[in-house]
Copies of this chain bind each other. A is one copy, B any other.
Amino acid sequence: MSIVVVGSVAFDKVITPYGEAEKTLGGAATYFSVAASYFCPVQVVAIVGEDFGDEHAAVFEDRGVDTAGIVHAEGKTFYYGCEYSWNLNDRTTLFTELNVFERFEPDLPAAYRQAPYVFLANIDPELQLSVLEQVESPRLIAMDTMNFWIDGRLQALQRTLRRVDILVINDEEARQLADTYNLVQAAANIREMGPSAVIIKRGEHGATAFLGDEIFTVPGYPLRELADPTGAGDTFAGGLMGYLVRTGDHTPEGLRRAIVAGSVMASFCVERFSLEGITGLQDEQIATRYRAFQRLTCFGDL
């Protein structure tokens, strides 16, 4: 079983109080692919420009990610710059150069169209919908989105949501989409829009998931030092979906374990700059961190 992810491959300029990265490989589909690749085969659909070189392709290839779906177009790759506040909790966008990404029209290679699992990273919901038109009989579809589309493409977003099993979204965006502050109420509203499961990312506070009749919460992993939060949400989704694909267990219990797997990958992501934290991991490191999450949260009977 494998997963198709559709989203941005980009270059990032990142400034944090602890350092600076100039034009490193990033983008939602990149973080997602690398994280998911520890659990299952990944096929990525994206667009890059002429400045995307072999060294960038190698990041995917080293992780065994199938890059046949990456279109190489004339022009430059999507380039995004941001700066984090002293405590890493606030991010200011420095610039957004869409470049070739502005012309992105996902066209799935024939070999991707039987994909059993699909993840629609944060892109225009019209494009997300066009991807769903191209896959033949997916077992499970998940997606992310952002405030920009909730503001400007709500109708298209709602059409996409109706066809999706799992929405992975951050807390502020869940509140905005559901038009209510309370997250329990927000998740209930969103589930009426389509997704049977809503998984809310809460940054350093972890994630809260609404699965079947139950709520599941996992904390953020307590780290003494954080280097760079960039891509943590996409890494979370990658670990989560990769684990679901590997196990094929979509039950609420399976989703709980998948959410912890995603949290494990996100915790590795933020420990180092850009992709450094999630490339070159050993399976045993992932298993050890998963057990650390168990110790972090377990307690006995009353």
Interface residues of chain A, those whose CB is within 8 Å of chain B, are 86-87, 181-185, 188, 202, 205-206, 208, 214-219, 222-226, 253, 256-257, 259-261, 286-287, 290-291, 294-302
Contacts and interface: CB of A to CB of B under 8 A. Distances in A.
A224 B210 CA distance: 13
A298 B296 CA distance: 11
Contact of A299 (B183, B222, B256): B256
A300 B185 CA distance: 27
Contacts of A219: 206, 208, 217, 219
7 contacts: A182-B226, A208-B219, A218-B297, A218-B299, A256-B300, A297-B298, A297-B299
Contacts of A215: 222, 296
A32 to B, nearest CB: 20
B297 A217 contact: yes
A274 to B, nearest CB: 21
A223 B302 contact: no
A177 to B, nearest CB: 17
A296 B185 contact: no
A253 B182 contact: no
B182 A299 contact: no
A228 to B, nearest CB: 15
Contacts of A202: 205
A216 B218 CA distance: 12
Give the 6 A-B CB pairs with smallest separation, nearest first. A217-B219, A256-B299, A184-B224, A290-B302, A205-B205, A87-B181
Given A219-B208, A222-B184, A223-B184, A257 B300 contact: yes
Nearest to A206: B219
Given A205-B205, A257-B302, A290-B302, A217 B185 contact: no
A291 B222 CA distance: 25
Contacts of A287: 302
Contacts of A223: 182, 184
A85 to B, nearest CB: 10
Contacts of A181: 86-87
A47 B206 CA distance: 42
Contacts of A206: 219
Contact of A222 (B208, B256, B296): B208
